[in-house]
A and B are shown apart, each in its own frame.
Chain A
Amino acid sequence: MVNKEMLEKYAEKLMFRMSDEEYVTLENEFDIILKQMELIGNINGISDVEPMIFPFVTYDASLREDVDKEPLTVDEVLSNTKHQVRDQVKVPKVVE
């Protein structure tokens, strides 16, 4: 089962903070879903089932032909940020 400390760590890895009350709600939600998922684990024969990722697979999809097309203009690329220098997006210095 999960506790607040764990949940805080998960939130941090997802790059956000949550309010204290929300952790209470979330802990309850985890209780519920984990219990329900545990029951799912008991469904007869479930381990023999191949997980389904796509709603169906037709194998009709085609790969894209390797032809380049008109790109966005530089203005379009940068149109949704005011943080720009020399046609690039500016962020605080990234330290590796």
Chain B
Amino acid sequence: MYKVIIGLEVHCELKTNSKNFSSAKNTYTNMPNVNVMPVDLGLPGILPVVNKEACKKALKTAMALNCETPDEIIFDRKNYYYPDLPKGYQITQVTKPFGRNGSVSFLVNGEEKTVLIHQLHLEEDTASLEHCSNYSLIDYNRSGIPLMEIVTEPCIYSADEAVRFLETLRNIFLYCEVSEAKSDKGQMRCDVNISLMKDTDTEFGTKVEMKNINAFTSVKAAIEYEIKRQSEILDKGEKVIQETRRIDEDGKTYSMREKVDAVDYKYYIEPNLAPVKLTDEIKNKVKSEIPELEYSRIKRYIDLGISVSDAETIARDKNISNYFDELIKNTNDLNTATNWLTIIILGSLNKLNISINELFITPTMLANLIEKVSNKELSSQLAKNILYEAMEKNIDPMEIIKKSNIKQISNEDELISIIKNIFDECPEQVNEYLNGNGKVANFLVGKVMQKTNKQANPGTSLKLIKEELERMK
């Protein structure tokens, strides 16, 4: 067995109207070269100008990841030649990245795990290359789109941890509304560095880099494949080669190139971007716009007594969690609230293919309905039926109740007279009970419900049926 050490470099395209250093539109389109300004083409004489919103979003994310933030905004140039890099350098951040020394915590199988963030910086995406049979084509639409890179410390020890980290990170992006973070669109992609070492080793093993993996499932597959591959090499007493590997569709990795000598990118400060002060005032304002994040909410729900899995389900999406928070503000029945939200509401959202913000039923409406159940004014089954009808017809459940004059019959005298009628109609079942088959009571409750159009309180009915039958024994 070997100890696995994983570090991740995550790239995330920020959601802005315009590009990072030009005013060309930041959007995806199939039409090539329609969102291009002179800056994105690297034409002679161009000057970059930094997008305020991109900075704000990078800073916000850095703060959400508990990073130290710099006193001013400056950028650096990373110099290299490649056909997708029109300026011959990429504008990025080395000297003063938006974030350093951060951390993010989450649960892996119920246990808390903390991943340390080495740094977070803002940079620009490259143009995209389309590879044809014997030539390649360059489309500059993507050139200059704001890209945020997050580099972790090598402190992740399994594929599960890596995937949970990525999910947590994506949810932070979504909670902070900095990116749509869709991995199928390449808006979130990551490089994985992985090395294996023996428990007794004091130094990390040889690092293998896997580049540009989009789907989280592929990350998991690639890591698991690499662990197996590298373990086999080490078992044989051979050495792992330092190299960059790519991943194919079934999760196997293939060698792309061996690392010969590290490229010297000749970083230096971008002189065209005048420094801008990041005052406490700006920082505080951006910080105040960060909502309570997923992990904090999960912990809060668990503290309330909600199960880990329900807490995770609810907190996964900010809007659902907000809905839930609003719901439990208006009802004391936490159990019903949790069950109804995670089962009925989320199920229906899926079926209707809408987001919770599009749901007609507000948390207050739902809370009112739950209250009817808690007060025993409605049976749980009846209330659920009302809820489904309300969601389908987009009306307030209370309206349904009012219109069809539904109320729960809890008056014992009224119920007893109904029950006696049913005893007359079902002498066989009464006899069965008297002969010792207690289960028959439930059948009789069903009858009561039928007769009362489901308005009888099932609990009270059962209690009264049992009392009456016992008396007859």
The reply to whether A and B meet directly (CB within 8 Å) is: yes
The chain A residues found within 8 Å of chain B, CB to CB, are: 15, 53-54, 57-69, 71-72, 74, 77-78, 85-94, 96
Cβ contact within 8 Å between B23 and A68:
yes
Nearest Cβ in chain A — how far from B82, in angstroms? Answer: 8
User: B64 at interface (Cβ–Cβ under 8 A)?
Assistant: no
Residues in A with CB closer than 8 Å to B256 are 96
Q: Could you jot down 24 A-B contacts, CB within 8 Å?
A: A15-B81, A53-B271, A59-B276, A64-B18, A64-B49, A66-B17, A67-B18, A68-B17, A69-B23, A69-B37, A71-B25, A72-B38, A86-B137, A88-B32, A88-B33, A88-B130, A88-B138, A89-B138, A89-B140, A90-B137, A90-B138, A91-B136, A93-B132, A94-B131
Expressed in whole angstroms, the Cα–Cα distance for A65 and B38 within the complex equals: 18
A-contacting 9-mer, from B50-58, B158-166, B169-177? B50-58
Residues in A with CB closer than 8 Å to B84 are 94
Residues in B with CB closer than 8 Å to A88 are 32-33, 130, 137-139
Report if A63-B276 is in contact (Cβ < 8 Å); known contacts: A53-B271, A85-B135: yes
Expressed in whole angstroms, the Cα–Cα distance for A88 and B139 within the complex equals: 6
Residues in B with CB closer than 8 Å to A71 are 24-25, 34-37
- The chain A residue sitting closest to B95, CB to CB, is A53
Expressed in whole angstroms, the Cα–Cα distance for A53 and B271 within the complex equals: 7
Cβ contact within 8 Å between B33 and A64:
no
Q: Which of A15, A58, A64 counts the most B-chain CB atoms under 10 A from its CB?
A: A64
- The chain A residue sitting closest to B137, CB to CB, is A88
Nearest Cβ in chain B — how far from A74, in angstroms? Answer: 5
Task: Write out, one digit per residue, whether chain B residues 14-38 have a CB within 8 A of any chain A CB (1) or not (0).
Answer: 0011100001111000011111111
Task: Write out, one digit per residue, whether chain B residues 169-212 have a CB within 8 A of any chain A CB (1) or not (0).
Answer: 00000000000000000000000000000000000000000000
Contact residues of B between 36 and 79, Cβ < 8 Å to A: 36-38, 41, 49-55, 72-73
Report if A66-B135 is in contact (Cβ < 8 Å); known contacts: A54-B271, A71-B36, A86-B32: no
Cβ-defined partner of A67 (8 Å) among B23, B34, B276? B23
Task: Write out, one digit per residue, whether chain B residues 243-255 have a CB within 8 A of any chain A CB (1) or not (0).
Answer: 0001000000000
- The chain A residue sitting closest to B84, CB to CB, is A94
Cβ-defined partner of A68 (8 Å) among B24, B38, B129? B24
Expressed in whole angstroms, the Cα–Cα distance for A90 and B133 within the complex equals: 12
Residues in A with CB closer than 8 Å to B26 are 68
User: B438 at interface (Cβ–Cβ under 8 A)?
Assistant: no
Expressed in whole angstroms, the Cα–Cα distance for A68 and B268 within the complex equals: 29
Residues in A with CB closer than 8 Å to B73 are 63
Cβ contact within 8 Å between B50 and A64:
yes
Residues in A with CB closer than 8 Å to B53 are 66
Nearest Cβ in chain B — how far from A2, in angstroms? Answer: 16
- The chain A residue sitting closest to B38, CB to CB, is A72
User: B302 at interface (Cβ–Cβ under 8 A)?
Assistant: no
Nearest Cβ in chain A — how far from B80, in angstroms? Answer: 9
Cβ contact within 8 Å between A67 and B17:
yes
Cβ contact within 8 Å between A66 and B38:
no
Expressed in whole angstroms, the Cα–Cα distance for A90 and B132 within the complex equals: 10
Expressed in whole angstroms, the Cα–Cα distance for A58 and B275 within the complex equals: 8
Expressed in whole angstroms, the Cα–Cα distance for A74 and B84 within the complex equals: 17
Cβ contact within 8 Å between B271 and A74:
no
Report if A74-B17 is in contact (Cβ < 8 Å); known contacts: A59-B277, A66-B51: no
Report if A64-B52 is in contact (Cβ < 8 Å); known contacts: A88-B138, A93-B135: yes
Expressed in whole angstroms, the Cα–Cα distance for A86 and B133 within the complex equals: 14
User: B274 at interface (Cβ–Cβ under 8 A)?
Assistant: yes
- The chain A residue sitting closest to B134, CB to CB, is A93
- The chain B residue sitting closest to A57, CB to CB, is B275
Cβ contact within 8 Å between A66 and B18:
yes
Cβ-defined partner of B36 (8 Å) among A59, A62, A77? A77
Nearest Cβ in chain B — how far from A77, in angstroms? Answer: 5
Cβ contact within 8 Å between A89 and B50:
no
